[in-house]
């Protein structure tokens, strides 16, 4: 086994690899970019090496910098994670030349699977079933159109070099083929500098089922069963599970053996995934092979009880596979959701910002959380906006989904928009829970899964109001215990005004003799109590209901004050109208540790750099937006932790521009 490895990645996967390495007594070296100086993976590793600018092409994608870091720290092997250099054959080769072990397959295997067209040719020879289609070298539009007609519409055009759903076009009929082909080629050229395409029969309501394979350098190869990754948005996975619903043992064996044949055909070593597209009747076809550890590997780990990163290290160090095929078993059911900083209502647009409040599920025997961020970290525009993967393992699928839905309902994130409500809706959707799975699921049930935002309910107004009035309570042994401290204004009642989007609502608060409060809410009156609970939460009584809630109070970009209420089932934001207490607002503003861009624009001057100490009101930078120059000043006295952009760069509204040291 190695004594020290370098992880050429960031985020949750870097943290996840470090965890296993530490358990095995292997020392770890992290690498990081400017934006990641304070990142979780850097804090977790035994050593860390700064490798360059925030943009991946200046750091995580620079082969020489990574090899240099490995040499300088004496790392014997490099784990590439997924993404970045993980499927870069030249990188794997350079590692070999530098005498450093690449924890992954041989460069030739990466190359063989790098082009979807070439991969199909190899699979054809290995007798692995292929989707009816064309993957030849002749790329003339006339020939491609003729092939498409021969396959029969609808067809799918795919970039051979594609990934992440880029360069794909569905074509419904012959007269649309020409323009779709142009579009796919244009996109492929821009993204992969290669406009070679292939054509496939477009399956309706297909499932994405993939097989985890593992091979060692001694000629053994096993499959660790399947994962169903059919729940997708924009052809990207959102929920993955193992085993696949409605899979019968004979088909599992057939798919597993086809995947092993695929791996053997290219002399594979290490962890790999063979992706199949399957019809509802179970017939399946090879789609592609990913020559690395997949994002969704934890569901396989859960049902097999194995640690795939441990297997990777063992195999890379020259060892044999720890188990034979007949020793592998499936135990229960596992599901993984990808919690993303993105807005499902705006076509899944990534959302950036500081995670000012983050409550992820707690890990236990059923629950695993893989994350690369902590509260206070930033989701920057530089990298994938995934906040965490939450994995549940339970005795059966129904129990796993029920548990996951509850976890998503209790997940609290403030600072970025997330897909937690969508994930909760998916895991509790009767059709999905009933076993309906295909790649069109989210689109088909869009109305159920992404309901139009309903007006805030009385409970939300009540909780926000209770949090608000508790702030006015004079200090006492327990300032939140309103029986002791809370005093109303002279007139015997008070009002708190809220804005829910455009709608304004006033809540009247009256103190009753027994120390209780009565709230007059939009929907009627209710008696209420409030006390401080664990974790900064409030224990609230409303009528006959008692529950705990989190309330996050935050100054917004425009100077207003927002309250985000978590009282079961996702966060709800209300704007406080005319805060009476201006000093409190300033205190909250000063809590901010980042200066965000108030408008989309361009940085035209930077007056500070990381490490500078500044005083409140001092100019930090100049932004050109809407044909005007805006100087952004320091909101507090403090030390600059990082400056996220350079002069000349475009920034989006709300982008974190300058970050302050905290504490």
For residue 174, what is the DSSP state? G
338: phi then psi, degrees, rounded to nearest 5: -100, 110
Q: Which of 292, 553, 573, 596 is catalytic?
A: 292
Give the residues lining the site for ligand ADP (CB under 6 A): 131, 156, 158, 162-166, 200-203, 206, 208, 232, 235, 275, 277, 287-288, 439
Q: Give the end-to-end CA distance of the chain in Å, rounded to a whole number.
A: 40
User: Toward ligand ADP, which CB reaches closer, 91 or 202?
Assistant: 202
Residue 626: CB atoms within 10 A of its CB come to: 9
User: From CA 329, how far away is CA 333, in angstroms rounded?
Assistant: 12
Residues in the chain, total: 663
Q: What is the closest distance, in whole angstroms, from the C-beta atom of residue 52 to ligand ADP in the complex?
A: 28
- Helices 116-125 and 249-265 cross at an angle (nearest 10°) of 110
Of residues 28 and 88, the one with the C-beta less far from ligand ADP: 88
Check: CB of residue 427 under 8 Å from CB of residue 401.
yes
CB of 440 to ligand ADP, least distance (A): 9
Is residue 428 within 8 Å of residue 363, measured between CB atoms? no
Nearer to ligand ADP by Cβ, of 172 and 504: the residue is 172
Instruction: Report residue 141 as tokens.
Output: 């539009």
515: number of Cβ within 10 Å: 12
| Shortest Å distance, C-beta 73 to ligand ADP | 34
For the CB of residue 577, give the shortest distance to ligand ADP in the complex, in Å. 46
- CA proximity to 533, closest of 472, 467, 588, 587: 467
Which of 239, 297, 237, 238 lies closest to 272 in space, CA to CA?
297
- Report the residue number, 206 or 654, with the smaller CB distance to ligand ADP: 206
- Closest distance to ligand ADP from the beta carbon of 132 (Å): 9
Q: Toward ligand ADP, which CB reaches closer, 131 or 528?
A: 131
Least separation in angstroms between CB 569 and ligand ADP: 29
Taking the least distance from each CB to ligand ADP, the nearer of 166 and 428 is: 166
Q: Kind and range of the H or E element at 274?
A: strand 270-278
Nearer to ligand ADP, 164 or 568 (CB): 164
Distance CA 177, CA 188 (A): 16
- Pairwise CA distance, residues 337 & 391, whole Å: 7
Q: Please report how close the Cβ of residue 380 comes to ligand ADP at its closest, in angstroms.
A: 24
CA angle 339–553–601, rounded 5-degree value: 70
Catalytic residue list contains 346: no
Which helix (H) or strand (E) segment holds residue 511: the answer is: strand 503-511
User: What is the separation of C-alpha 613 from the centre of its chain, rounded to a whole number of angstroms?
Assistant: 34
Half-sphere exposure of 249 (CA within 13 A, CB side): 2
The residues annotated with a catalytic role in the active site are: 292
């Amino acid at each position: 086994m190695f004594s020290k490895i370098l992880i050429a990645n960031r985020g949750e996967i870097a943290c996840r690899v470090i965890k296993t390495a530490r358990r095995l007594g292997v020392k770890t070296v992290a690498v990081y970019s400017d934006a990641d100086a304070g990142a979780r993976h850097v804090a977790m590793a035994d050593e860390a090496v700064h490798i360059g600018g925030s943009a991946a092409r200046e750091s995580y994608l620079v082969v020489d910098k990574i090899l240099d870091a490995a040499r300088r720290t004496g790392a014997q092997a490099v784990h590439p994670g997924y993404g970045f250099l993980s499927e870069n054959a030249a990188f794997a080769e350079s590692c070999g030349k530098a005498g450093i072990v690449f924890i992954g397959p041989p460069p030739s295997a990466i190359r063989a699977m790098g082009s979807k067209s070439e991969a199909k040719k190899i699979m054809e020879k290995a007798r692995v079933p292929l989707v009816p289609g064309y993957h030849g070298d002749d790329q003339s539009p006339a020939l491609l159109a003729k092939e498409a007609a021969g396959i029969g519409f609808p067809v799918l055009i795919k970039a051979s070099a594609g990934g992440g759903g880029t360069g794909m076009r569905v074509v419904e009929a012959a007269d649309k083929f020409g323009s779709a082909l142009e579009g796919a080629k244009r996109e492929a050229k821009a993204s992969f500098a290669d406009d070679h395409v292939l054509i496939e029969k477009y399956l309706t309501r297909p499932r994405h089922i993939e097989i985890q394979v593992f091979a060692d350098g001694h000629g053994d190869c096993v499959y660790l069963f399947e994962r169903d990754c059919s729940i997708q948005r924009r052809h990207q996975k959102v929920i993955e599970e193992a085993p696949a619903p409605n899979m019968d043992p004979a088909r599992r064996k057939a798919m597993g053996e086809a995947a092993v044949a695929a791996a053997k055909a290219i002399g594979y070593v290490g962890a790999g995934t063979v992706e199949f597209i399957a019809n509802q009747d179970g017939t399946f076809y090879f789609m592609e092979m990913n020559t690395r550890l997949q994002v969704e590997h934890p569901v396989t780990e859960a049902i097999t009880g194995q640690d795939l990163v441990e297997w990777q290290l063992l195999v890379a160090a020259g060892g044999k596979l720890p188990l034979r095929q007949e020793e592998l078993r499936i135990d229960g059911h596992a599901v993984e959701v990808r919690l993303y900083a993105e807005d499902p209502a705006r076509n899944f647009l990534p959302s950036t910002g500081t995670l000012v409040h983050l409550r992820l599920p707690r890990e236990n025997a059923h629950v695993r959380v893989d994350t690369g961020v902590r509260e206070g970290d930033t989701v920057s525009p530089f990298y994938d906006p995934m906040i965490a993967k939450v994995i549940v393992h339970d005795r059966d699928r129904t129990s796993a989904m029920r548990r996951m839905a509850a976890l998503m309902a209790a997940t609290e994130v403030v600072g970025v928009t997330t897909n937690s409500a969508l994930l909760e809706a998916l895991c509790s959707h009767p059709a999905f829970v009933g076993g309906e799975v295909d790649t069109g699921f989210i689109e088909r049930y869009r109305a159920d899964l992404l309901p139009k935002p309903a007006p805030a309910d009385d409970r939300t107004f009540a909780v926000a109001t209770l949090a608000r009035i508790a702030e006015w309570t004079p200090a006492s042994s327990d300032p939140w215990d309103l029986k002791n401290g809370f005093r109303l204004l002279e007139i015997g009642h008070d009002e708190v005004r809220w804005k829910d989007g455009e709608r304004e609502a006033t809540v009247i608060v009256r103190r009753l003799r027994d120390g209780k409060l009565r709230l007059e809410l939009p929907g009627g009156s209710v008696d209420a109590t409030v006390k401080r609970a664990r974790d900064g939460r409030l224990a609230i009584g409303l009528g006959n209901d008692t529950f705990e809630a989190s309330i996050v109070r935050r100054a917004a970009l425009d100077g207003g004050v927002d309250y985000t209420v978590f009282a079961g089932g996702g966060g709800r934001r209300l704007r406080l109208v005319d805060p009476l207490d201006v000093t409190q607002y300033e205190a909250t503003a000063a809590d901010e540790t980042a200066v965000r861009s108030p408008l989309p624009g361009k940085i035209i001057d930077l007056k500070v750099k990381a490490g500078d100490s500044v005083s409140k009101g001092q100019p930090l930078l100049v932004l050109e937006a809407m044909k005007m120059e805006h100087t952004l000043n320091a909101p507090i006295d403090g030390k600059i932790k990082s400056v996220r952009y350079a002069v000349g760069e475009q920034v989006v509204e709300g982008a974190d521009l300058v970050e302050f040291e905290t504490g």
